[in-house]
Structure 1
Amino acid sequence: MEKIGIGPNVFLPMPVVLVGTVVGGRPNFMAAGWASRVNANPPMLAVGINRNHATHAGIRETGTFSVNIPHTGMMEKTDYCGLVSGENTDKSGLFDLFSGALPGAPMIRACPLAMECRLVQTVDLPTNTLFIGEILGAYADEDCLVDGRPDMERIDPLILTMPDNRYWSLGEYAGEAWSAGKRLKKGA
């Protein structure tokens, strides 16, 4: 099949997360699609946040944030957190909150997986800031664990695709990473 140029502004499917911090003295949550694990040891993740968002200022001020993984049943509340600004809307009442060891990193009890992060680096980009945080604590619902590890099928995370701006659920299991291609290795 022939490839067609479509321009450089292409997006990958992304997990939808709720980034939590304190804004104006109260817990605030923002829906974000630009989140990724970026380091193994120590464990770190990054979130890309536009400088115009209240969450951006909250993370800079507190030096902490949380990353909460909502399940698909939380789509309406998650989307709402992306539609309204913490600058003039108190979103903390939407959720039952809990805290770990880090002040300024409120977490959402309804999310099957939540992580508290200490800000370790910021990378200023043309419109966004990439906040890199070390994961200091992770909390999961017991029924979402298999052998003590988070199971994505049980967590049932929201996935975002752009530019069609649609939410999806995780697809079917396809195979084992770092194993599926072993048959193609020379000498195997």
Structure 2
Amino acid sequence: MKKQIGKTNALYPSLTTILGTTINGRPNFITIAHVGIMNHGDPQYLSFGVSKSHFSNQGIIENKVFSVNIPSRDLVVETDYFGIMTGKSTDKSSVLETFCTEGYEAAPMLKRCPVSMICKLARTIDFETHDVFIGEIVATCADEEVLANNKIDISKVNPLLFDMSSIQYWSLGEPVAGAWNAGKVLKKK
């Protein structure tokens, strides 16, 4: 029997990302796990829910561009640091080596993250406590080691997942079944 547990958000675990922006000429990074894939067409959009109290919002709104870095599990310490320290009083720009793509210097990326994306700010949705940033993906960079047939192999990325219930970072398990394939056994013949 199911038990009602209130208004609990049960959509965890979620992918852990590190957003990069520039504020007052300095790179700044923040860990965000409240992310969403808006679509898979062209253009492609992603969404990020960020508390209004965060320093990074200023850079995203002013520059209208930001990076989305996907850390692997070996970056758990740095990833957590980016989330627990505020850029208002801490210079996080030297924690990991950064790089930029020409024309998007205000969207610093992290070299040690196996996958990084550049997003143009398409829209900001203003909620009482949070801003939701919707970014259009304009470029994706991936380490060659995580590619298979020029596509990102998620098992090689080994991304961090975040679970709010346990307040823990998790990693991926094994594949279960092929998407758009496993359910075919239930099709009527």
When normalised by structure 2's length, the TM-score is 0.95
Partner of 2:137: 135
CA distance in 1, matches of 2:8, 2:52: 20
| Aligned residue in 2 for 1:65 | 66
1:46–1:131: 8 Å Cα contact kept in structure 2? yes
Superposed, 1:74-93 pairs within 5 Å as 74-93=75-94
* CA displacement at 1:143 relative to structure 2: 0.6
Judge conservation of contact 1:70–1:158 (CA < 8 Å) in 2. Answer: yes
CA distance in 1, matches of 2:178, 2:17: 25
Selected match of 1:112 from 111, 114, 117: 114
Q: CA deviation at 1:125?
A: 2.0
Q: Cα RMSD (Å) of the superposition?
A: 1.0
CA drift at 1:88: 1.0
**Is residue 13 from structure 1 mapped to residue 13 from structure 2 by the alignment?**
yes
Q: Is the 8 A contact 1:143 1:154 kept in 2?
A: yes
Offset of 1:108 from its aligned partner?
A: 0.3
* 2:95 corresponding residue in structure 1: 94
Could you tell me which amino acid in structure 1 is paired with residue 81 of structure 2?
Y
| Separation of aligned partners in 2, 1:114 and 1:141 | 9
- Quick one: percent identity of the two aligned structures? 39
| Per-residue Cα deviation, 1:92-133 (whole angstroms, up to 9, x for no partner) | 101111112423111001000000000001112231111011
What amino acid is aligned across from residue 89 of structure 2 in structure 1? N
Check conservation: 1:23, 1:87, Cα contact below 8 A: no
Letter in 2 for 1:89: T
Answer yes or no: is 1:38 the counterpart of 2:58: no
Q: Which amino acid aligns with 1:38?
A: M
What are the superposed Cα offsets for residues 55-100 of structure 1, whole Å, 9 maximum, x if unpaired?
1111011101110000000000100011110111110101111112
Distance in 2 between residues matched to 1:162 and 1:43, nearest whole Å = 27
SS at match of 2:38: strand
CA distance in 2 between partners of 1:121 and 1:179 (Å): 35
Q: Say which SS state the counterpart of residue 39 (structure 1) adopts.
A: coil
Query: What amino acid does structure 1 have at the position aligned with 2:118?
Result: E
What stretches of structure 1 move > 4 A for 4+ residues in a row? Answer: none
Greater shift in the superposed pair: 152-161 or 122-131: 122-131
In structure 2, list runs of 5 or more residues that go unmatched.
Answer: none
Secondary structure, aligned partner of 2:141: strand
Number of equivalent positions: 186
TM-score, normalization by structure 1: 0.95
Question: Does the 8 Å contact 1:64/1:103 carry over to 2?
Answer: no
